[in-house]
């Protein structure tokens, strides 16, 4: 499991080997952990309805790096495919108490949904990565149900202001996960709102840190979609059991649903996945945007399965496996 940070690297000369090793890891996870659990729960039989059952994975330590949701055999010698995503809709949560909190928050929001709530869409400029195309790809779908507010290369102050007034937020930018390396700590991990990774020490860079999110309290918060690298990555070293990462910080700020990444995100696949997610999540009808508790997790499961079955992306496990749902 400790090899996952190495496997997630997208160096073109190592990507094929890393994907082969990721396939082996997912098979091992399926046979040794996930399949026995689903079998014990009776979830390996075809569901009585079209709705797949839900399951929450509570992990800590080194197992927090494990992609339980994507475990499976991706074509054996007989051409068979057997994956967790075809049997259950997976979510992650830090503790049972956190799950109860997220469920209670989601229930209140379903009862108080307004007809036209605000969606905050945040992107950053990068000469090598096209974050803006991702935002443009989801803007139309989101705009049918929410009032979109667009921020590009935003200041920390502006983002914190809009965070207090937005039900949905979508970040398309860099995510920087910091381990336990004194004098820095995992709470210094951040979303890079302005600037580039090549010049992280520049004073002109704008960052939204875990510490910043600790002061956010948004009663209308519903969904935070973090299309950035390593937003659900736990710190290594002494604090590996503490589950301190950017996605959990949004949960504590009141967002009952968070989409994050276990490791680095691939820019093109991230954009494709986000478009599919909102199409599955919101669709083309005129439903009131009060989220049902399973809507977000189901939409992400469908979007990932769609990318998984795409011949251009199916073999690139490193690109689509890291996306996870955290929350109710």
Sorted by where each starts, the structural domains of the chain and their CATH numbers stand as 4-91 (no CATH), 108-327 (3.40.50.1460)
C-alpha 149/C-alpha 153 separation (Å) is 13
Q: % helix / strand / coil in the chain, to the nearest 5?
A: 40, 20, 40
194 phi/psi in degrees, rounded to 5: -150, 135
Q: How far is CA 119 from CA 139, 316, 323, in A?
A: 9, 31, 21
- Interval 198-248: pLDDT, tens: 655 555 679 999 999 988 888 888 999 999 999 998 766 665 656 678 999
Which residues lie across from 223 on neighbouring strands? 168, 257
HSE-up of residue 209 (Cα within 13 Å, Cβ side):
11
CA distance 218 to 117: 13
Q: How many CB atoms lie within 10 A of CB 83?
A: 17
| pLDDT confidence of residue 205 | 77
The end-to-end CA distance of the chain, in Å, is 26
Q: What is the pTM of this model?
A: 0.90
Starting at the edge strand found earlier in the chain, the sheet holding 168-172 runs 54-58, 89-93, 323-327, 257-261, 223-227, 168-172, 117-123, 146-152
Distance CA 191, CA 35 (A): 35
Tell me how far apart the alpha carbons of residues 7 and 19 are, in angstroms, rounded to a whole number: 7
User: Which residues of the chain have a pLDDT value below 50?
Assistant: 288-289
Structure-block tokens of residue 105:
């928050």
Q: What are phi and psi of 41, to 5 degrees?
A: -80, -5
User: Per-residue DSSP letters for 201-255?
Assistant: T-TT-EEEEHHHHTT---TT--EEEEESTTTTPPPPGGGTTS---HHHHHHHTT-
Note the pLDDT tens digit of each residue in 156-178. Answer: 999 999 998 899 999 999 999 88
* 254 Rama sector, left if φ>0, alpha if ψ -120 to 50, beta otherwise: left
For residue 55 the two structure tokens come to 């399951």
């Amino acid at each position: 499991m400790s090899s996952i940070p190495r496997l997630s690297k997208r160096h073109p000369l190592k990507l094929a080997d890393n994907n082969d090793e990721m396939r082996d890891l997912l098979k091992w996870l399926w046979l040794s952990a996930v399949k026995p659990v689903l079998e014990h729960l009776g979830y390996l039989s075809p569901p009585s309805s079209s709705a797949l059952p839900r399951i929450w994975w509570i992990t800590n330590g080194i197992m927090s790096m494990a992609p339980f949701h994507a475990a499976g055999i991706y074509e054996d010698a007989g051409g068979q495919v057997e994956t967790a995503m075809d049997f259950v809709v997976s979510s992650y949560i830090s503790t049972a108490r956190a799950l109860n909190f997220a469920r209670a928050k989601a229930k209140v929001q379903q009862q108080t949904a307004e007809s036209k709530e605000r969606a905050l869409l945040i992107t950053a400029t990068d000469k090598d990565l096209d974050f803006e195309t991702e935002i443009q790809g989801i803007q139309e779908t989101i705009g049918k149900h929410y009032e979109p507010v667009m921020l590009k290369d935003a200041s920390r102050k502006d983002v914190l202001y809009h965070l207090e007034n937005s039900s949905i937020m979508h970040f398309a930018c860099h995510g920087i996960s910091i381990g336990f390396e004194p004098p820095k700590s995992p709470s210094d991990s951040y979303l890079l709102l302005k600037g580039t990774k090549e010049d992280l020490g520049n004073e002109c860079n704008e960052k939204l840190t875990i510490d910043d999110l600790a002061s956010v309290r948004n009663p209308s918060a519903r969904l935070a979609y973090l299309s950035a690298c390593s937003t659900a990555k736990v710190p290594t070293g002494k604090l590996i059991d503490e589950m301190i990462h950017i996605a959990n910080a949004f949960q504590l700020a009141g967002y009952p649903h968070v989409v994050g990444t276990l490791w680095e995100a691939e820019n093109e696949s991230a954009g494709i996945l986000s478009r599919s997610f909102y199409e599955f999540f919101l669709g083309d009808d005129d439903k009131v945007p009060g989220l049902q508790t399973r809507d977000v997790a189901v939409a992400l499961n469908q979007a990932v399965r769609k990318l998984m079955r795409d011949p251009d992306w199916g073999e690139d496990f490193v690109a689509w496996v890291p996306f996870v749902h955290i929350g109710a």
